[in-house]
Chain A
Amino acid sequence: MRRPKNGGVWMILPLYLFTIVFVAGPLLYVLALSFAKANDGYGVTWAFNLENYKRILDPVYQNTFKQSFQLALTSTVLNCLIGYPFGYFMARLPEKKKKHAMIGLMLPFWVNSLIRLYGWIIILQKKGLLNHLLKSLHLIDKPLKILYSYPAVVIGMLYVLFPFMALSVYSSAEKLDWSLVEAARDLGASKTKAFWTVTFRLTLPGLLSGVILTFIPSMGLFFIADILGGNKIVLVGSLIQEQMTRGSNWPFAAALAVVLLILTTLMIMLYRKITNAKQLEGVGWE
């Protein structure tokens, strides 16, 4: 097909404008901000300096990055372990039950995730639902202290990001040609062997894009750590938010954001290299 000579540019111009105004612009502003200097009270002085970046090298902040990365990794791995089977079995359900499962998965999206996380406080707190349940089942004597701890934050992350993983795996399992699995069985593969050589292989793109969809947000989601982690777990996201608001040190917050962005991009590039992920599903990179 031949490209239209004119017109084409004008058709996509709104898209370019939108991207420049709402994506590239703010990013450049953050980048510029990270080289500026915070005033004592409010506002910034536009004097180019690298102080903000030097400050990040402080072990306290390095530790924050490390902790964020660990948490993101933990929650992503757990998400794979739970989300993959969920998405896979959901795709194998009969049509009607599939619809029900889908509604079940989407329903929470209708309520603000902040509110839903407050719900988890009620479940996890010392005299909460979970402890009550465990106690009445005589599994514990003393109530567990889950709320305001690392596990609580992991649970929160899993809870918020799980649907993305499950749906991503579901969409690739749904498209799977089951006659390929039968072909493998026919050619001498046992059920387990056929799963790993065919089913898993063909649903891998869904899992891989699920990893991206859950890993990136979990590096930055600050409100989960704030609500369920108390003040004990400080993540990069919370640190940026704090510097923006209470600290009112916008340049330092911007520098943190830039470093987070660079690190995340690097990690994803590395990840794509390892998995040779030409086949990422639903993430239009190429």
Chain B
Amino acid sequence: MKNKLIELKDLTKNFDDQQVLRGINLDIYENEFLTLLGPSGCGKTTTLRIIAGFDEPSSGQVLFNGIEISKVPPYKREINTVFQKYALFPYLNVADNIAFGLNLKKMDKSVIAQKVSRMLKMVGLEGFEKRDVTLLSGGQQQRVAIARALVNEPKVLLLDEPLGALDAKIRKQMQTELKKIQREVGITFIYVTHDQEEALSMSDAVVVMNNGEIQQIGSPTDIYNEPENRFVADFIGESNIIEGHMIKDFLVEFDGYTFECVDKGFPENEEIEVVLRPEDLDIVEPDKAQITGVVKNVTFKGVHYEIIVETESRTYMVHTTDYAEVGRKVGLSFGPEDIHVMWKMGAY
């Protein structure tokens, strides 16, 4: 078992009359790539700012290696931040930007130069020492920002939507590189994003947040395959969410049919919600499936077709490589393991 590095206990935060965090409990481990994921205004950035020390929680505790730090100023924490818009000092060149923290520690000049060039090598900007930061591209500025934070050898690196301002291609490239850097330096990364794909592809653990509360904590696969509620299912990937009843263990009813499933542990006849991922549905001949409908719309998405099927009760979204023309009567087929049953959630 890995060691706990940061523990958030019952964190709340109010700005004026607005409650931004409503009791956050979270353990963050050493050497972990953890992502706070959620729509804007969900409290993910506030959580990050509290860990960094820029904001104080209204109540609750922040423990770092078991010691309460919520009143410790940012410059005394072994935590560094990569800011959303890089926040590089425009009047310093690349090397001086990176050396900012080391210079404050009055480190030896030759040691600083050595560390700076090692960092530049790691982020792929060898020989950029004397460059003017304002003339670098967005991706390069972001690399400088990462080097500037990591050169201080923090125990935790906080990243606040660091790739938000980059275009799609460089974004993808930086995602791979960030993950590589994290493995290389072997410290904890806490990453904030609203991009679910980014969260799933980079993280060891994903924390889905909404409305100042944690909705689910888990590995990317868990979060995707086993969403705990409608919000998570809806926010992560695309899904068909259907209301139904849990008749008994391994048997669920929705849209007027009963299906075998792999879920258990719900009370009998409990009202539940079912998630069916579009890619788990197959288009078959109408007589080979319980649920049948008519194809309403077909969109070519590159790898697959997105087919909208209208049944008696609702419309289903299907992702499949098979083509079915509009107006055709089809059946929807899926296996017991494709059905995921969730607790029904109040309004969110």
Binary interface profile of B, 19-51, with partner A (CB < 8 Å = 1, else 0)? 000000000000000000000000000000000
Instruction: Given A182-B54, A183-B81, A183-B83, verify A201-B91 contact (CB < 8 Å).
Output: yes
Nearest CB in chain B: distance from A181 CB, A: 9
Measured CB to CB, the residues of B under 8 A from A are 52-54, 73-75, 79-81, 83-85, 87-91, 100-101, 104-105, 148-149, 152
A191 to B73, CA, bound (A): 9
- Per the bound structure, the CA–CA distance linking A193 and B105 in Å amounts to 12
* Beyond known contacts A179-B87, A188-B152, A191-B73: 12 more, CB 8 A cutoff: A177-B85, A179-B84, A183-B81, A184-B89, A185-B73, A186-B75, A187-B148, A188-B104, A188-B105, A189-B104, A190-B73, A202-B90
| Cβ contact within 8 Å between B104 and A180 | no
B75→A188 contact, CB < 8 A: yes
Residue of B nearest to A190 (CB): B75
Give residues 151-200 of A contacting B (CB, 8 Å): 177, 179-180, 182-191, 193, 198
Report if A183-B87 is in contact (Cβ < 8 Å); known contacts: A188-B152, A190-B75: yes
A interface majority secondary structure: helix
A182 near B91 with CB under 8 A, answer no
The answer to whether A186 and B52 have CB atoms under 8 Å apart is: yes
CA distance A202 to B75 in the complex (A): 21
Select which of B73, B75, B84, B90 is within 8 A of A187 by beta carbon. Answer: B75
Give the CA-CA distance A184 to B89 in the complex, in Å.
9
Report the minimal beta-carbon distance from B149 to chain A, rounded to whole angstroms: 8
- Given known pairs A177-B87, A198-B89, A201-B91, the reply for A185 and B104 (CB within 8 Å) is no
Q: Which residue of chain B is the closest to A182 with respect to CB atoms?
A: B54
Q: Which residue from chain A places its CB closest to the CB of B148 in the assembled complex?
A: A187
Contact of A179 with B85 in the complex, beta carbons under 8 Å: yes
Q: List, in ascending order, chain B residues with CB within 8 A of A179's CB.
A: 83-85, 87
Q: A180-B89, A193-B104, A198-B89 are in contact. Are A185 and B83 (CB under 8 A)?
A: no
6 A-B residue pairs with CB within 8 Å? A184-B89, A187-B80, A187-B149, A188-B104, A188-B152, A190-B75
Complex Cα–Cα for A198 and B75 (A): 15
CB-based contact A188/B89 at 8 Å: no
Q: Which of A177, A187, A190, A198 contacts B101 (CB 8 A)?
A: A187
Chain B hits for A182, CB < 8 A: 54, 74, 81, 83, 87
- CB 8 Å contact bits of A189-222 with B (1 = contact, 0 = none): 1110100001001100000000000000000000
Complex: how many Å from CA A180 to CA B53?
A: 15
Write out the residue numbers on chain B whose beta carbons fall within 8 Å of the beta carbon of A202.
90-91
Cα–Cα distance between A190 and B72 once the two chains are bound (Å): 12
Known A179-B83, A193-B104; contact A185-B89, beta-carbon cutoff 8 A: no
**Interface SS majority for chain B:** loop
Q: How far is the CA of A24 from the CA of B200 in the complex (A)?
A: 69
CB distance from B138 to the nearest CB of A (A): 15
Closest to A178 in B: B87
What's the least CB distance linking B140 to chain A, in Å? 17
Q: Are the C-beta atoms of B74 and A185 separated by less than 8 Å?
A: yes
| Interface mask (A65-102 → B, CB under 8 Å = 1, otherwise 0) | 00000000000000000000000000000000000000
Q: Which residues of A contact B53 (CB under 8 A)?
A: 185
Chain A min CB distance to B187 (Å): 15
> How far apart sit A198 and B88, CA to CA, in the bound complex (Å)?
11
| CB-defined contacts of A183 to chain B, threshold 8 Å | 81, 83, 87-89
The answer to whether B91 touches A184 (Cβ under 8 A) is: no
Report Cα–Cα, A67/B104, bound state, in Å. Answer: 44
Instruction: Evaluate whether A186 and B74 lie within 8 angstroms (CB atoms) in the complex, with A193-B104, A201-B91 already known.
Output: yes
**B87 contacts A180, C-beta separation under 8 Å:** yes
What chain B residues lie within 8 Å of A198 (beta carbons)? 89
Instruction: Judge whether A186 and B89 touch: CB under 8 Å.
Output: no
A 14-28 to B, binary, CB cutoff 8 A, 1 in contact else 0: 000000000000000
Q: Report yes or no: A187 in contact with B52, Cβ–Cβ below 8 A.
A: no
Q: Which of A185, A188, A190 has the most CB of B within 10 A?
A: A188
Q: Which residues of A contact B105 (CB under 8 A)?
A: 188
Q: Which residues of A contact B104 (CB under 8 A)?
A: 187-189, 193
Q: How far is the CA of A186 from the CA of B101 in the complex (A)?
A: 9
In Å, the complex CA distance between A225 and B74 comes to 51
Contacts of B79 in A (CB 8 A): 186
CA A75 to CA B338, docked complex, whole Å = 80
- Give CA–CA (A242, B74) in the complex, Å: 62
Query: In the bound complex, how far is the Cα of B75 from the Cα of A188, in angstroms?
Result: 4
Inter-subunit contact B75/A189 (CB<8 Å):
yes
Task: Please report the C-alpha to C-alpha distance between residue A189 and residue B152 in the assembled complex, in whole angstroms.
Answer: 13
CA gap between A193 and B148 in the complex, in Å: 18
Complex interface: chain A residues within 8 A of B152 (CB): 187-188
- Measured CB to CB, the closest approach of chain B to A260, in angstroms, equals 35
**In the complex, chain A residues whose CB is within 8 Å of the CB of B91:** 201-202
Q: Which residues of B contact A193 (CB under 8 A)?
A: 104
* Interface-central residue, A179, A186, A202, by most chain B CB under 10 Å: A186
On whether the beta carbons of A185 and B75 are closer than 8 Å, the reply is yes
CB closest residue in chain A, given B89: A180
The one of B84, B90, B100 that contacts A184, using a Cβ cutoff of 8 Å = B100
| Cα-based distance from A185 to B73 in the complex (angstroms) | 8
Establish whether residues B101 and A188, one from each chain, have CB atoms under 8 Å apart when the complex forms: yes
User: What's the nearest-Cβ distance from chain A to residue B148, in Å?
Assistant: 7
Contacts known (A193-B104, A201-B91); A186 close to B85, Cβ less than 8 A: no
